[in-house]
């Protein structure tokens, strides 16, 4: 490994450059090769060294500029040439970022790899929208699931959502109808509060709310696009309850 470079799996956070870790910002400033996802905000890419080569491996639903295996091969090939490479991912590399696959590929190739965590999309979006994913009065359990994987209908989500629980769904915009149907079939109340956070922690962020049964109509009517998260649970309504209480108090 002495003659090889290092692969840095770096989390870019939810989009705001101010939410980068210091380690991530320093690596961006010194890196000469950066392999980045399509959802990494341009403002973050602008922090790269002026001489850095930026290689996009953007992914869209059912459409990939580069297969995951090829991305792994690319990272290993760069490192074996003696160059360090920053693999820049939205959110955190190990939360639906396929960072685990890339770390495994590096270790299998006897290439040094370092993981730099980032603020996950769920944490960043929830904080920006002031939705507490846990709350003593509403939720003591948080679950993260992917809403875009194969066999969605056959997955066992029993117990992931309901009273005292918060369910955060990544990549669920296109499958919102199936998600709502699946959860209600598993016994979740149709009026369970839901929030859809589009472009979380970015200037164009939108937070849309409604009951679970209306989730598909909400996504369609508001023309929600990725990146977006679906948060299901009583915590999504607490800020509305607080605002209502403040309004009532002010009216007295």
How far apart CA 131 and CA 204 sit, in angstroms, is: 17
Task: Please say whether the beta carbons of 188 and 168 come within 8 A.
Answer: no
How far apart CA 133 and CA 144 sit, in angstroms, is: 11
| C-alpha distances out from residue 232 to 29, 119, 188, 202, Å | 38, 20, 10, 21
Active-site residue, from 16, 18, 59, 182: 59
Structure tokens, 110: 């006897």
37 catalytic? Reply is: yes
Task: Please say whether the beta carbons of 233 and 193 come within 8 A.
Answer: yes
Active-site residue, from 37, 41, 84, 92: 37
Q: Are strands 33-36 and 63-64 parallel, antiparallel or unpaired?
A: unpaired
Structure tokens, 240: 């509305």
3-class secondary structure, 182? helix
How far apart CA 215 and CA 176 sit, in angstroms, is: 7
Query: Which residues, listed in sequence order, are joined to residue 210 by a DSSP beta bridge?
Result: 194
**Count of beta carbons in the 10 Å neighbourhood of residue 234:** 18
Catalytic positions = 37, 59
């Amino acid at each position: 490994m002495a003659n090889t470079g290092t692969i840095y799996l770096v989390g870019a956070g939810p989009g705001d450059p101010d939410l980068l870790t210091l380690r991530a910002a320093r690596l961006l400033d010194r890196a000469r090769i950066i392999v980045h996802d399509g959802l990494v905000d341009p403002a973050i890419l602008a922090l790269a060294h002026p001489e850095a080569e930026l290689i996009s491996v953007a992914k869209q639903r059912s459409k990939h500029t580069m297969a995951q295996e090829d991305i792994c091969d690319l990272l290993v090939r760069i490192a074996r040439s003696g160059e360090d490479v920053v693999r820049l991912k939205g959110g955190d590399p190990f939360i639906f970022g396929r960072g685990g696959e890339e770390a495994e590929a590096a270790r299998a190739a006897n290439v040094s790899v370092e993981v730099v965590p980032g603020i996950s999309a769920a944490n960043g979006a929830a904080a920006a929208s002031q939705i507490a994913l846990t709350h003593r009065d509403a939720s003591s359990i948080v679950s993260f699931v992917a809403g875009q994987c194969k066999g969605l209908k056959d997955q066992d989500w029993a117990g992931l959502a309901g009273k005292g629980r918060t369910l955060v769904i990544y990549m669920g915009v296109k499958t919102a109808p199936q998600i709502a149907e699946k959860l209600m079939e598993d016994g979740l109340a149709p009026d369970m509060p839901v929030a859809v956070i589009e472009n979380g922690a970015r200037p164009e962020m939108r937070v849309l709310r409604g009951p679970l049964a209306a989730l598909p109509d909400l996504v369609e009517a508001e023309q929600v696009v990725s990146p977006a998260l679906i948060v299901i649970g009583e915590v999504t309504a607490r800020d509305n309850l607080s605002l209502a209480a403040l309004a009532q108090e002010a009216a007295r």
